[in-house]
Chain A
Amino acid sequence: MMTENRHPLVSDYLARLRTEAIRLDAHDASELLADIEAHLAEATPAGTPEADVRNALDRLGSPSELVDAALGGDQRPHTQPPATPAGSGWAEAGAVLGLVGAEVLAIAWPLAIPLWLLGLVCLVVSKRWDAGLKMQGFFAVGLGMPIAWFLVVSAGYASTVCTSQATSGGGESATTCTSSLPQGSGYAVSALIIGFLIFQLITLRKMARAARG
């Protein structure tokens, strides 16, 4: 790199070109910069008088002209978003409503299971979510219903066990209740549930954003 021999006007021009070239993808930008650097190195070798440098830069064209020309080949600059999002959005709405609805209604399994299946199908056919997001959606939201159902069912089993013992001599019975689960597991389960719900909310937000396009 012969930067030390570069005329300050040239350095300034190249800096402006570098800024303008953000509108291009990385490969096109670096190619254009290399070509223009080489061109200016030929056009303005060390010792070129300032007037000639200015003429050479004028003949080159402004940085935005060059980047416009580079964009002219592609139909669309890379910073623009796609014109219309894919599909009509029904799949995305169906997926969220089906899966979240199934989770909320988990115990009412005649209702929950069809909703859940509908939600899964919609998740799969969605055109606005990429494969990675669909995977995350499956784990975060799709598993919501099975996990909710499991929690409700096991809460039924993990009830406290009360035994009553008759005192000898026919007196009043004393009841002692002990939980069938180890001490403190209630907190652990609650923490896991909260963590999972947070994961769900984050994922749902991501899915909503991607669905809006």
Chain B
Amino acid sequence: MTVADNSVTQLRRGVLEHCVLALLAGEPRYGYDLVTELSEAGLIASEGTLYPLLSRLRKEQLVETTWQESSGGPPRRYYSLSPRGESAVAGFRPAWTDFKRSVDDILERRTR
């Protein structure tokens, strides 16, 4: 792993949970759907590892899940934000903005 790869991995880990919560802010979504979107965004290395993360979010009561029948397909587990999850997302947005601005400032300063 190059140094750049490793730092991206660290960033990913810290931010992933909140990205998952943010994706749920609009409407309930099912596991496969979430996994595909995050995978295409390059935010997860192996898709399967998202499920233990979702399980942890449920144990921490940030999300709620229900299984629902889907027409002509297997049942799907839908995830939705709990009130705690909503306030977690609300808190994350300004924190991320500040963080991003600080990192950008430092990177720009160094390259001038």
Instruction: Find out whether the CB atom of B32 lies under 8 angstroms from the CB atom of A38.
Output: yes
Contacts of A72 in B (CB 8 A): 52
Closest Cβ neighbor of A63 among chain B residues: B48
Instruction: Find out whether the CB atom of B52 lies under 8 angstroms from the CB atom of A32.
Output: yes
Instruction: Find out whether the CB atom of A65 lies under 8 angstroms from the CB atom of B51.
Output: no
User: Is A192's CB within 8 Å of the partner chain B?
Assistant: no
Decide if the interface of chain B is mainly helix, strand, loop or mixed. Answer: helix
| Contact A59:B39 (CB < 8 A) given known A32-B55, A70-B52 | yes
Which of A39-47, A107-115, A132-140 is near enough to bind chain B? A39-47
Decide if the interface of chain A is mainly helix, strand, loop or mixed. Answer: helix
Instruction: Find out whether the CB atom of B46 lies under 8 angstroms from the CB atom of A35.
Output: no
Closest Cβ neighbor of A74 among chain B residues: B56
Interface size, chain A (Cβ < 8 Å): 24
Range for the number of chain B residues in contact with chain A: 20 to 34
| Contact A35:B51 (CB < 8 A) given known A41-B73, A59-B39 | yes
| Contact A39:B32 (CB < 8 A) given known A61-B45, A61-B49 | yes
Name the one of A2, A42, A73 contacting B56, with C-beta atoms under 8 angstroms.
A73
10 shortest interchain CB distances as A-B pairs: A61-B46, A70-B52, A69-B49, A41-B74, A35-B51, A42-B32, A60-B48, A61-B48, A66-B48, A69-B52
26 residue pairs of the A-B complex, CB under 8 angstroms, read A35-B31, A37-B74, A38-B31, A38-B32, A39-B31, A39-B35, A39-B47, A39-B48, A41-B73, A41-B74, A42-B32, A45-B73, A59-B39, A59-B47, A60-B47, A60-B48, A61-B46, A61-B49, A65-B49, A66-B48, A66-B52, A69-B52, A70-B52, A73-B55, A73-B56, A73-B59
Residues of B participating in the A interface, judged by any CB pair closer than 8 Å: 31-32, 35, 39, 45-49, 51-56, 59, 73-77
